[in-house]
Amino acid sequence: MSQWLPIADIAAKVQAGELKAADLVERSLKTIADKQDYEAIIVTTEKRARERAAEIDKRTAKGDKVGRLAGVPFIAKDNFLAFGAETTAASNILKGFNAPYQATVIERLEAEGAICVAKANLDAFAHGSSTENSDFFTTKNPYDKTRVPGGSSGGSAAAVALEMAPFATGTDTGSSIRLPAAFCGVVGLKPTYGLVSRSGIVAMASSLDSPGPLARTVDDAALVLDVIAGRDDLDSTTIERDERSYTDLEFDLKGKKIGILKEYMDDSVDADVREHIQAAVKKLEAAGAEISTVSIPSMPLSLSVYYIVCPAEVSSNLSRYDGQRFGYSYPDAKDLDESYKKSRSIGFGEEAKRRIMIGTYVISSGYHDAYYKQAQTVRTKLVKEFEKAFSEVDFMVGPVSPTKPFKIGERAKHPLQMYLADLLMVGSNLVGIPAISVPAGLSDGLPVGLQIMASQKADRHLLAMAKRAEELLA
Amino acid sequence: MARGLLQLWLTMAKLTRDDVLKLAELARLDLNEAEIEQFAAELSEILQYVEQLQGVDTKGLEPTHQVTGLTNVTRADEVRDYGYKPEDLLKNVPHVKDNQIKVKRMLG
CA of A286 vs chain B CAs: smallest distance (Å): 36
Q: Return the residue in A377, A420, A433 with the most chain B beta carbons within 10 A, the one to mutate for interface testing.
A: A377
pLDDT at A423 over 90: no
| Other CB atoms within 10 Å distance of the CB of residue A39 | 20
CB–CB of A190/A428 below 8 Å? yes
Mean pLDDT within B75-83: 90
A152 prior amide bond cis, ω within 30: yes
A373 contact residues in B (CB cutoff 8 A): 63
CA distances from A350 to A25, A340, A428, B108 (A): 36, 17, 27, 29
Confirm whether A252 is domain-assigned. no
Predicted confidence (pLDDT) at residue B8 exceeds the cutoff of 70: no
Q: Say how far apart CA A145 and CA A196 lie, in whole Å.
A: 33
Are A260 and A281 in contact by the 8 Å Cβ rule? The answer is yes
Looking at the structure, tell me whether residues A62 and A164 fall in a common domain.
yes
Across the interface, do B64 and A377 touch by the CB < 8 Å criterion?
Answer: yes
Q: Does B3 score more than 70 pLDDT?
A: no
pLDDT at B48 over 50: yes
Angle subtended at Cα B53 by Cα B2 and Cα A363, rounded to the nearest 5 degrees: 75
In a domain, A57, yes or no: yes
Residues A145, A59 share a domain: yes
CATH number for A196 = 3.90.1300.10
* CA end-to-end span of chain B: 39
pLDDT at B13: 67
Name the more confident of A422 and B62: B62
> Would A291 be classed as within a structural domain?
yes
Q: What is the tens place of the pLDDT at every residue in A130-176?
A: 999 999 999 999 999 999 999 999 999 999 999 999 999 999 999 99
Give the closest-approach CA distance of B76 to chain A in angstroms: 11
A176 is a catalytic site residue: yes
Residues A217 and A349 in one domain: no
Q: Which of residues 13-32 of B touch A (CB under 8 A)?
A: 15, 20, 23-24, 26-31
Give the pLDDT confidence of A432-472 residue by residue, as tens digits: 999 999 999 999 999 999 999 999 999 999 999 999 999 99
A343 is catalytic: no
How many whole angstroms separate alpha carbon A295 and alpha carbon A386?
9
Q: Minimal Cα–Cα distance from B64 to chain A, Å?
A: 5
Condensed to tens digits (0 to 9), the pLDDT of residues A263-291 reads 888 888 999 999 999 999 999 999 999 99
Q: How confident is the model at residue A415 (pLDDT cuts 50, 70, 90)?
A: confident
- Chain A contact for B41 (CB, 8 A cutoff): no
Average pLDDT across chain A, whole number: 96
A385 and A363 share a domain?
Answer: no
**Amino acid B6: pLDDT:** 46
The verdict on a CB contact (< 8 Å) between B92 and A98 is: yes
Please tell me whether residues A159 and A122 are part of one structural domain: yes
Residues A329, A190 within the same domain: no
- Say if residue A84 is in the same domain as residue A151: yes
Chain A CB contacts of B108 under 8 Å are 334-335, 337
Any domain includes A467: no
Domains of chain B by range and CATH? 1-56 (1.10.20)
DSSP symbols for B89-106: HTTT-SSEETTEE----S
- Note whether residue A234 is domain-resident: no
Backbone angles phi, psi at A22, to 5 degrees: -60, -40
The domain of A72 spans 7-228
Q: What is the CA angle A373-A379-A381, rounded to 5?
A: 115
* Residues A84, A183 within the same domain: yes
Please state, for a pLDDT cut of 90, what percent of chain A lies above it.
Answer: 94
- List residues bridging with A167 in a β-sheet: A74, A215
**Structural domain contains residue A310:** no
- What is the phi/psi pair of residue A390, to 5°? -75, -5
CA atoms within 13 A of residue A453's CA, in its CB half-sphere: 30
Residue ending a domain, choose from A369, A386, A408 = A369
pLDDT in tens, A90-124: 999 999 999 999 999 999 999 999 999 999 999 99
Burial class of residue B82 in the structure, from the number of CB atoms within 10 Å of its CB (0-12 exposed, 13-18 middle, 19+ buried)? exposed
Nearest CA distance, B55 vs chain A (angstrom): 10
Q: What are φ and ψ of residue A447, in 5° steps?
A: -70, 145
Average pLDDT on A303-321 reads 96
Q: Do A315 and B27 touch (CB under 8 A)?
A: yes
Mean pLDDT across the stretch A40-50? Answer: 98
Q: Could you tell me if A261 and A143 lie in one domain? A: no
In a domain, A237, yes or no: no
| A275 & A361 share domain | no
Q: What is the tens place of the pLDDT at every residue in A17-27?
A: 999 999 999 99
The answer on A83 and A201 residing in a single domain is: yes
Task: Tell whether A233 is covered by a domain.
Answer: no
Domain match, A280 and A360 both: no
Q: Which residues of B touch A345 (CB under 8 A)?
A: 29-31
CB contact (8 A) between residue A364 and residue B23: yes
Q: What percent of chain B has pLDDT over 70?
A: 87
Say how many domains are in chain A: 3
What's the pLDDT at B4?
46
Question: CA-CA distance, A156 to A77, in Å (whole number)?
Answer: 6
- Residue A368, pLDDT > 50, answer yes
Compute the Cα dihedral for B96, B100, B101, B102 and give only its sign. Answer: negative
CB contact under 8 A, B58 and A381: yes
The question of whether A428 is a catalytic residue gets the answer no
Digit-coded pLDDT (tens) for A213-241: 999 999 999 999 999 999 999 999 999 99
Chain B residues with CB under 8 Å of A374 CB are 53-54, 56, 58
